[in-house]
Structure 1
């Protein structure tokens, strides 16, 4: 598998290149956004690992330009850890978003998950039952009625609607939506789910966001 690594920090770049090479990947490493975009457009890669903060041309610009011509899978690997940054990366067309510092084993797992999906990228528009989520326009509707969500609520729904029928634990949700380890004394996930449920389910006959006691939550049409 041929991977393009776009990372300007020498220590991080060298660490990633060595680790990925030892894991069986062929890695091209460049240290600027301009060089990264040129390589991504002129050579064939199975996947691009992209930092956000790059000299000359940042990662947002690189991905925006790349998506005009190429569907190469892209994983953002960056210290930018705000929910708004992760949502922006996904909206621009990234296939995944991993925050530094990270465990190398998790990076490998995410890379392999993306590569198993094949060459096509996940659609920007996801539908389930009568809910439609447009990741590019950040627009959600149910039965044609617009639902206004905060950035965290949008990220939470995006995670749930892509995995319908799958029970997601509080720790899974916390790690992917808030990028934090779940503390059993913290009810941040429960509060966010409650607010999302009020917007998505209240006023509609069919309820989609369910609590699975002792396990977590599931997005599922049970009619």
Structure 2
């Protein structure tokens, strides 16, 4: 595998894990949340530096569905993460306590809102690149042959993840977290870290699978037309 691609995959994996840790504010506490936020900021910059060539491709070539979706999602993801990071500074209690503002509820709402939209867009972003991720994983593990049984098994697993993800989205009131009117929603203060990770990975699974298979269908439809 190309060393640069390997580094990008590792950084993306660390970013995803860090995002999950940052979302688990009620489990980790404020200090860890803020430290992870700073770490995410650094990774965010590194990620954009490593993928700087992508910005040059925005105005090149024909705009197919996947390219349009990729551009829109990536730019929105960039904006939401930037807003989440910027809004975190004035509400910081540990790392930047000297920058705090009075009556910071609006800023907190913006921070939570942008963070949750960033989480969703991150999952869609992964879904767009899922084919490349799978191919890279195959090369790393030495799996070069296709298997009908393995394909069916993974698709069944994907269905189970999506079904559970939809259920848990309602239980956790994810919809209200994406609305500025009630961004805080439900907090399970007594839940374990493992439960949190499983639930949020399942929620990510909805958007990863949905994006991946929608794009596959569109590509198949476009090939049939041509």
Same fold (TM over 0.5): no
- Between the two structures, name the one with larger relative contact order (CA 8 Å, sep ≥ 6): 2
TM bucket by the smaller chain? under 0.3
**Bigger strand share:** 1
Structure with the higher fraction of residues in helix conformation: 2
TM-score w.r.t. the length of structure 2 is 0.25
Using the size of structure 1 for normalisation, the TM-score is 0.25
